[in-house]
Amino acid sequence: EIVLTQSPATLSLSPGERATLSCRASQSVSSYLAWYQQKPGQAPRLLIYDASNRATGIPARFSGSGSGTDFTLTISSLEPEDFAVYYCQQRSNWPLSWTFGQGTKVEIK
Partner 1 sequence: QVQLVQSGAEVKKPGSSVKVSCKASGGTFSSYAISWVRQAPGQGLEWMGRIIPILGIANYAQKFQGRVTITADKSTSTAYMELSSLRSEDTAVYYCAFSVCGDCYPGYWGQGTLVTVSS
Q: Based on CB atoms, which residue is closest to partner 1, 83 or 87?
A: 87
Q: Is 86 in the site for partner 1 (CB under 8 A)?
A: no
Say if residues 76 and 89 touch (Cβ distance below 8 Å). no
| Interatomic CA distance for residues 107 and 21, integer angstroms | 13
Binding mask 44-63 for partner 1 (x = CB under 8 A): xxx--xx----xx-------
Smallest distance, Å, CB 65 to partner 1?
17
Q: Is 64 in the site for partner 1 (CB under 8 A)?
A: no
Q: Which of 24, 54, 61, 91 binds partner 1 (CB under 8 A)?
A: 91
| End-to-end Cα, the chain, rounded Å | 36
38, 42, 46, 48 alpha-carbon torsion, rounded to 10°:
-20
| Interatomic CA distance for residues 82 and 40, integer angstroms | 12
Q: Based on CB atoms, which residue is closest to partner 1, 30 or 77?
A: 30
Q: Is 43 in the site for partner 1 (CB under 8 A)?
A: yes
Say if residues 89 and 36 touch (Cβ distance below 8 Å). yes
Residues that bind partner 1 (CB under 8 A): 1, 34, 36, 38, 43-46, 49-50, 55-56, 87, 89, 91, 93, 95-103
